[in-house]
Amino acid sequence: MALTRNSSPHAHGPRSTQWVMQQVLIATVPGLIVLTSFFGIGTIINILIASITAIGCEAAVLKLRQRPIGFYLRDYSALVTAVLLGLALPPLAPWWLAVTGTAFAIIIAKHLYGGMGFNPFNPAMIGYVVLLISFPLQMSAWLAPSGLVIDGTVAATPGLRDALQIVFAGNAIDGFTAATPLDAFKHNSGLLVENFYQQTPQFNQGRWAGFGWEWVNIAFLLGGCYLLGRKVFTWHAPVGMLGGLTLMALFNYDGGSSASNGSIIFHLLSGATMFGAFFIVTDPVTSATSNRGRLIYGALIGVILFLIRSWGNYPDALAFGVLLMNFAAPFIDYYTPPRTYGHGKSGTIIHRSKED
Amino acid sequence: MSKIWDIHGGIHPAEHKALSLGGPIRTVPLPPTLILPLSQHIGAPAYPVVGVGDKVLKGQLIAAAKGFVSAPVHAPSSGVISAIEEQTVPHVSGMKAPCIVIQTDGNDSWIEHSANPDYRQKTAAELVALIGDAGITGLGGAGFPSAVKLQPRQPINTLIINATECEPYITADDQLIRERAADILIGIDILAHILGRPERILIGIEDNKPEAQQALASALKNSGNTDNAGAIEVVEFPTKYPSGGEKQLIQILTGEELPSGKLPAELGIVCQNIGTTHAIYRAICHGEALISRLTTVTGQACGKPGNFEVLIGTPVAHLLKEAEFDAQRCPKLIMGGPMMGFALPDTSVPIIKSSNCLLATTAEESPPPPPAQACIRCGHCAEVCPASLLPQQLYWHAQSKNYERLEAHHLADCIECGACSYVCPSSIPLVQYYRAAKGEIRLIAEEKRQSDRARARFEHHQARVEQEEKDKAAKREARKLAAEAAKAKREAEAEIAAANPQAALDASPSAGANDSGELDIVQAALARVAAKKASPEDQRKRFERAIETTAARLQKAQQVLAAMASDDSAEQQIKRDQQRASVEQARLRHQEAKNKLAAIETDQAANGPGDIAAKPATTNTASADPGLDRAAAAIARAQKNAAEQASMSPQQKLQKQRDALEKRLGKAQTRLAQAESEGSEQVEAFNHAVATLSEKLKAADLELASGSQDSGPAKVQTHTTEDSN
Ligand code: SF4
Ligand code: SF4
C-alpha cells in the first residue's frame, strides 16, 4: 500500500478560482439584460466578439508561453475580462473596436505582465482606455435608449439585421445616437439644475438620474449585491468608491445652481458608476490587498471619477480613475498592513524592513 | 456565564465528528511489540536507562529525561527490551529516530507504584516533580513537557483548560470528558493546587459538544472540593477553527492578546489541554506514568471508527485493525486532524504521547490537491487568518525568498493553522511555503549565531595574543634594564674595589650573595614555578569556586529555557534552540571545571596529601606537576618539528600540513558522527567544523598540486602536460 504524503492542511474549502469567476459572470446578467432592453442587441454582440477574441488570444499566448492551454482557459479569467469590456463598449460599435480592445487587454495588459495574478493594471480598463484614446469618435457614439422621446420621435434601437450591418459592414449609426445623461449634463450652460432637468429629455423622462441609465446602474448594483452575498469580495472597495463619489458630490452640489456638478443620486446612477463599483474596483488582482487598503483604494477612485466627470475632458472617467489607482495600489498596501495578533499598532513594524 | 471575545478570521470546515462518536471508549488488545521513540515531546530526547535483553514491568522507567525541558519514557506494558535502534517515527518529515522496542510478555504486570490521593498535603514542587517523573507532556498535539509549564516565574491568576478540540474529525477529548469528567475535575484541582489557587479557572469548550459540557456541569455539581468549585467555569463559545490554538483560546476567554514572543505566564495565564489534565490525575492519584492515551481513529476508510484507549508505542497498524481499517480504500493516512496533521509514510510507526487522532481518509474524502493556480489576490486568506497576517504577501515573499520582508510581515506569528490554504480558491499550498521559509530563516539565524560566536572567539584570541606579546616585550625590557643596572653596579663596585680594596672586602659577603641581577631573575623565575606548584590548595579552591558558579549558571540557563514558550512558532523555536545551546555550553563549562578539579585531586592523591612544596625537592619535580611535564613535552615536540621542518623541502612541509589537516578532519568526522548518534546539540557545530576542515584540506591539496608543478618530483610530468596545452 502506497500512502501519499503531502503537507497539511488535508482539507480544502469548496471555493475555486473558476467558481469565483463564474459568480462574476453570473452577476453581470441583470446589467446585461437591462442594457439590452434599452440599447438592443449591440451589447451582446460586443460580448460575443470580445469573448471569442479573448479566448483566441489567451490560447495563442499560452501556447507561445508553453503553458497548458486547457488548464488556464478553465479559470475563466479571460472570459471575465472580455465580458466586462464588452459591457463597457458602446453598443453597435464597429466589430474591430471590440477585437482591438480585447486583444490589447489580453496580450499586453495581462500576459505581457506575466499572466493572471501578475498584471498590475486591470486588463479590461486598459483595453477601454486604449480604445478611448485611439478612437474617441466611435467610443462616444452611444445609442439613444429605446423609448426616449426626443423632439417628438420615440427612439428605437435597430433590429438584428440593421445591427449586424452597422457592426460588421460599417453602416451609419448616426440616426440612432443621442447624448448620454452625463454628456448632456456636461453641456449644461448656465441653467439651474432644476430648469435643465425640465428642458432635457434624458432627464425629464427619467425618474432619478437620466432615462435608461438609472436602470442600468440599478441592475449592476443588484449584481454586485449578489456577489457581496456570496462573499466573492468584501464590501470595502465598492463602498469606498461609492462613498468617495457621494462625498464629492455632496460638497460640490452647490444647491443645484447653474454651476452645480450634479446631485449625489445623479452621480451614483449615471454612467459606469455601479458597474465600476462592483465589477471593476473589486478586481482583486489590481486592487489593494487589505480591507483597510481597499476602502482607501475605492474611495480614491470615487474621488477621481468625480473630478474627471466634473472638470475633465471626458464625460465619464471610470477607466482613468481605476488605472491611476492600480498604479497607487502597492503604495496603499505599503501603508495599510493589518495589525498582526500580538503586535502593537499596525504600520509601525513593517517599516523596520531594511529594504524600505 | 463569563464574557467571550471573538478572534479574527477562522473557518468552518465540515466537522465529521459524528463519525467517531458512536460509542464508548474502546480498548485495544495488547500488541506484541511496542515502539517507544525517545523523543515524543518538545525538548531534549530522553536517554535509555535499560539495555537490550532487560526485562521491564509496566510503568517502569526505560528512558530518563535529559535536562530540564525533556520528558522520561516508561514501559507501557511488561516484557523484554528487544532493541534500541532507529525506527521511523511519526513526524512531519517521516524521519527515523532512536526508539526502544519492547516485546510484550502478555502479563501486563505493573511495577510497584504509589498513589497520592491526598495531594493537597503535598507541596507544589513535590507534585510538579511527580508530574515530571510521570513523563507527562501536552496531549493536545504539541507535546510540551507539562511540568515545565507548571513552574511559571510569574504569579498565575487564570488557569485555562483547553477543551476546544477545534480540528474536524477528532473527538478524543469530547469522549474523554463525557466519560471521565469527575477525574478531569480532580486533575484540574491538582493544577489549581500547584499554581496557588488561581482566581479564575476557565474550561474553554466549543458549542458543538453539548454532551461534554453537560457532563462537566454535573460533575462540577457533584464534586466535593468546594473551595475550588466556585472558581471553575465552563465557558462555551461558537465553533470555529482554529479556536483551540493557545493564543486564540486566550483571546476568546480573556480578550487579551498574547504579545508576540511572550509566554502566557507573563499575562498570569497557564493553559493546559484537558486530556493532559486527565493524565495528571492518573499520575498523582494512581501513580501511573503516562503510558496510554485516548486516540480517535476515524475516516471513511475505517469500518468501525471510534475512540480508543491505546498504549503509547502501539504500532498504528495494530490500532487500525481494531477500527476495521480498509487499506485498499485509503490513499492517505493522517496523524492528527485534517488541518494540521501530517501524512504518515506507513503503518509501522507507533502511537506516541501526542497522537490525538488517526485519520484514514478515502480518495473522495481527501482528494489530492488540484494543481495550484496563480494567486488572484482575492484576499480570502487574509480574511480567515487568525493571526491577522497577509498570507498572500507572505506567499509572494516566500516565493522570492525575501526573508527580510517575511519577517517584516511577521511570518513568525503564523501558527500554521492552514486556514489560508483551506480557503485559497487557487489551491496554493500556502502553509507549505511558510514552513519551508521558517525552516530557512531558522537555519540562517543559526548560521549567523555560529559565525558571531566564531568571530567573538577569534577576536578574543587575537586580543590574548596581543596581550601576551606585550607582556613578553615588557619582560624583555625589564630584563634588559636589570642587566644594565647589574653591569653598572659591578663596574661601580669594581671601581670602588680598585680604589678601596678594604671597602670591597667589607661589601663582599653581600656582593657575593647578590652577585648579579641575572641571579635575581633566575631566582624569581624559580620562585614563580614554585608558587605555581605550591598552590594546589589554592587551585583547588579556585576550581571549586568555578564549579559552583558554573553550576549556578547552568541552572539559570535551564530555567530560562524551561520558561520559554511551548508553541511552535519559528521565533520561539529559534529562541529555544539558542537557549538550549547556551545550556549546553554552561553544562560543558561546568563539566570542565569538575574535570580540572578531579585532575588536581588525583594529582594530589598521587603526590600525597598536603603541601607539595613541603616535600623535599628530591621528588621528581617534573612528574609533580603534569602541567609542566606536558609543557616540556610540547616544547620538545615543537623543537623537533622546527628541526624537521628546517630540514624539509617546502613540498614536504605542505604534504605534512595536509596530512595533519586530514587527521583533524577524520577526528572531527568521528566526533560529528558521535554527536549525531547522541542527538547532541552540537551536531551543527561539528558539521561546521567538518565543512571548514574539508575546505582547508581541499585548499591544501590544491596548493600541494600547484606546488608540485613548480618543484619537486612531479616536475617533469606536469611540464609535459603544460606543454601539451
Ligand atoms: S486566497 Fe489564495 S488566491 Fe486568494 S489572495 Fe490568498 S493566496 Fe491569493
Ligand atoms: S497558516 Fe499562518 S498565515 Fe495561514 S491562516 Fe494560519 S496563521 Fe494565518
Lowest pLDDT segment from A154-168, B202-216, B673-687 = B673-687
ipTM of the complex: 0.81
- Which residues of A fall within a CB distance of 8 Å from B258? 341-342
- Residues listed for chain A: 356
- Name the average pLDDT for chain B: 81
Closest alpha carbon within chain B to A117: B376
The pLDDT of residue A278 is 93
- Across the interface, do A8 and B425 touch by the CB < 8 Å criterion? no
Spacing, Cα A119 to ligand 2 middle (Å): 25
More confident residue, A151 or B340: B340
Q: Compute CA distances A64 → A79, A80, A111, whole Å.
A: 19, 22, 11
- Phi and psi at residue B308, to the nearest 5°: -120, 140
- Residues B223-278: tens digit of each pLDDT: 765 555 568 889 999 999 999 999 999 999 998 888 888 889 888 999 999 999 99
- Say how far apart CA B680 and CA B44 lie, in whole Å: 9
pLDDT at B508 over 50: no
Q: Compute CA distances B33 → A113, B57, B95, B351, whole Å.
A: 60, 14, 20, 12
Q: How far is A8 from chain B (nearest CA, A)?
A: 5
The residue type at B353: K
Alpha carbon B227 to its chain centroid, in Å, reads: 39
- Residues listed for chain B: 725
Contact B112, B252 (CB under 8 A): no
Name the band, by pLDDT with cuts 50, 70 and 90, for residue A241: very high
Q: Which helix (H) or strand (E) holds A77?
A: helix A77-88
Q: How far is B376 from chain A (nearest CA, A)?
A: 5
- Say how far apart CA B103 and CA B56 lie, in whole Å: 10
pLDDT at B722 over 60: no
The pLDDT of residue B82 is 93
- Say how far apart CA B254 and CA B631 lie, in whole Å: 66
- Phi and psi at residue B79, to the nearest 5°: 160, -160
Which of B7, B12, B413, B415 for mutating ligand 2's site (highest number of atoms within 8 Å of CB)? B415
The pTM for the full model equals 0.70
Spacing, Cα B8 to ligand 2 middle (Å): 11
Q: Which atom of ligand 1 is nearest to the CA of B379?
A: 5
**Pick from A9, A118, A233: CB nearest B338:** A9
- Say how far apart CA B39 and CA B34 lie, in whole Å: 15
Which of these, B537, B542, B539, B545, lies nearest to B609 by C-alpha position? B537
Strand pairing class (B47-48; B269-273): unpaired
The pLDDT of residue B513 is 45
Interface with A, mutate which of B373, B375, B381 (most A CBs under 10 A): B373
Spacing, Cα A127 to ligand 1 middle (Å): 25
Lowest pLDDT segment from A216-225, B442-451, B576-585 = B576-585
- Residues B39-76: tens digit of each pLDDT: 888 888 899 999 999 999 999 999 998 888 899 999 99
pLDDT at A73 over 60: yes
Contact A18, A74 (CB under 8 A): yes
The pLDDT of residue B23 is 86
The pLDDT of residue B1 is 57
- Residues B522-564: tens digit of each pLDDT: 566 566 655 555 566 677 777 777 788 888 888 887 777 777 6
Contact B247, B415 (CB under 8 A): yes
Domain ranges of chain A: 17-178, 187-336
Mean of pLDDT values over B595-614: 59
- Say how far apart CA B159 and CA B177 lie, in whole Å: 18
The pLDDT of residue A160 is 79
The pLDDT of residue B357 is 93
The pLDDT of residue B261 is 83
Name the band, by pLDDT with cuts 50, 70 and 90, for residue A199: confident
The pLDDT of residue B93 is 79
- Say how far apart CA A322 and CA A327 lie, in whole Å: 9
| DSSP per residue, B105-132 | -S--PBPP----TTGGGS-HHHHHHHHH
The pLDDT of residue B661 is 79
* Residue appearing with cell numbers 586530514: B662
Lowest pLDDT segment from B356-370, B444-458, B615-629 = B615-629
Q: Compute CA distances A11 → A6, A40, B12, B46, B122, whole Å.
A: 11, 47, 11, 35, 47
Task: Give the 3-state secondary structure of residue A154.
Answer: strand
Task: Give the 3-state secondary structure of residue A216.
Answer: helix
- Say how far apart CA B511 and CA B519 lie, in whole Å: 12
The residue type at B182: A
- Say how far apart CA B611 and CA B624 lie, in whole Å: 12
Strands (E), B567-647: none
**Pick from A5, A9, A355: CB nearest B345:** A5
Contact B145, B315 (CB under 8 A): no
Which of these, A312, A318, A248, A317, lies nearest to A280 by C-alpha position? A318
- Across the interface, do B376 and A77 touch by the CB < 8 Å criterion? yes
Interface with A, mutate which of B240, B269, B410, B411 (most A CBs under 10 A): B410
Mean of pLDDT values over A34-44: 88
The pLDDT of residue A244 is 92
